[in-house]
Chain A
Amino acid sequence: MDAFTAIIDALPYILKGTAVTAGIVIGAMVLGLIAGIPMAVGQVYGNRPVRFMVGVYVWFFRGVPVLVLLFLVYFGVFGFIEIKLRSGYGIYINFSPFMAACLVMGMVSAAYQSQIFRGAIQALPQGQLKAASALGMSDSMAIRTIILPQALRIAIPAWSNEFSIVLKDSAVAFVLGTTEIMARTHFVASRTYQHLPLYLLAGVLYFILTWMGVKALLKLEHKVRIPGYSN
């Protein structure tokens, strides 16, 4: 079997993994966005306890390897909950590795995204919030209508960068047996011994996904650009 036929044979199977990879990444990025924005707002405008709690969260998820978190959540937390539900209430549920991967990557990304948004908020002139307050807006209204629309625009390039990191980190999810690109490639390669062409194929797939995502975000960046600003 030559390299070419190895790729052709494995392609349909491995391509199915791209949907799973995309699912993990989209899930993680959306989770990170939903959690990261309030965390950033809390860190900039919150009181001491709020700032402290966000700070602890960020340090924890920045400081612990994704691999450790995946095992911790999937085998530790999920396993614990499954057993408790089964023995305590007779409820049988099975958390999937996919869910663990989304959750862990999302929580880690939330830590990083919160710092992206915090930087973007702090890059805005202080006068923006002052002017909104002076018109009678509450803080939360000013943040929603004046601060975030500007901060989120500024954050797009850094967010795109975070996306490309999460996409590549998602390969680690294969250790839980998620059926994403890496897991499927590993499965085929270890049976056909065609490591070189197949891992090259996986690399190309990750590259294409990254390229598509970054291009799409670049498009978004241009679409929402405020007229009058250069580039």
Chain B
Amino acid sequence: MNNNVATVLQITDIHKVLGGKEILRGVSMTVDKGELKILIGPSGGGKSTLLQCINFLLPPDQGRIFLDGSEVHFHKKAELYRYRQQVGMIFQDFNLFDHLNALDNVSIALRKVKKIHKAEAGDRAYHELERVGLSDKTDLYPAELSGGQKQRVSIARALAMDPKVILLDEPTSALDPELIGEVLRVIVDLARSGMTMIMATHQIGYVKSLTNEILFMENGRIIEHGPPEKLLSADADTRCRGFCEMLKDLVREP
């Protein structure tokens, strides 16, 4: 019997210098299939930089990345493009394609990158929009959607590519408070359905029960990591807990 869960993504010792400053100072992690990893930490700690290094939107200066056990050679263009198709990315400010309606936002990469026929790509896109609760908004353009709807379209866009892992960079922090719930519900559903994800977020309360590891990041390093019950329990003496308590206090303030 083999109970080992397959490792989907492994990154080792990522370093990145930006503007003469070392933003990432040796970050490593292993993400197993179906896992939701939570990345948390003070602003400027390097969470966005790390997520962008993972799909080489920012090429790391040093370090290695493995998908399904094989190393990604990002200098080879074809290999890089194939890798990125398998790694979804959700941005803080959505980055929907402003000139395309919701359906085309989701289907364009299917058509142009995966070369899927237009009708079939449209069907698939519709299905993904349905999955995030937007089947009645397919014809609307980004400027006609609310922030929460935009972020759900961007999740559908990522899902349509059948990614092996999705990276989410503070997917709810650009949203009005009343719109956070609808996006988090979609993410929670994804986690329950077994999608592998790495999410930078400050909405720790909603996803605590779904993650088995929190990574606390500060000054370009993961300085604490472990299951939420260990890092956040009432008697835990961790930087992570202190930070989360502070966040809670901030939110509670009128």
Contacts and interface: CB of A to CB of B under 8 A. Distances in A.
A90 interface: no
CB-based closest 6 A-B pairs: A228-B143, A127-B95, A136-B85, A131-B95, A134-B89, A135-B109
Nearest to A135: B109
A149 interface: yes
B48 to A, nearest CB: 11
Given A131-B89, A137-B81, A138-B77, A226 B99 contact: yes
A130 interface: yes
Interface in B123-170: 140-144, 154, 157, 161
B84 A135 contact: yes
For A127, A134, A137, A149, the residue with the greatest tally of chain B CB atoms inside 10 Å of its CB is A134
Contact of A134 (B57, B108, B141): B57
B231 interface: no
Contacts of B49: none
Contacts, number: 78
A136 B161 CA distance: 9
A128 B112 contact: no
A145 B141 contact: no
B73 interface: no
19 contacts: A127-B91, A127-B93, A130-B52, A130-B91, A131-B91, A132-B97, A133-B84, A134-B89, A135-B84, A136-B81, A136-B109, A136-B113, A136-B161, A141-B112, A150-B97, A227-B101, A227-B143, A228-B141, A229-B143
Contacts of A229: 143
Given A136-B113, A145-B108, A128 B97 contact: yes
Interface string B24-56: 000000000000000000000000000010010
A134 B167 CA distance: 10
Interface of A: 125, 127-128, 130-138, 141, 145-146, 149-150, 153, 226-229
Contact of B144 (A135, A136, A138, A227): A227
B96 interface: yes
Given A128-B95, A136-B109, A136-B113, 16 more contacts: A127-B91, A127-B94, A128-B98, A130-B89, A130-B91, A131-B91, A133-B84, A135-B108, A136-B81, A136-B84, A137-B81, A146-B97, A226-B98, A227-B143, A227-B144, A228-B141
B149 to A, nearest CB: 12
For B82, B83, B91, the residue with the greatest tally of chain A CB atoms inside 10 Å of its CB is B91
Given A132-B97, A145-B108, A137 B113 contact: yes
A228 B137 CA distance: 13
A136 B83 CA distance: 7
Contact of B95 (A130, A153, A227): A130
B85 to A, nearest CB: 4
Contact of B57 (A128, A133, A227): A133
Contacts of B89: 130-131, 134
A229 to B, nearest CB: 5
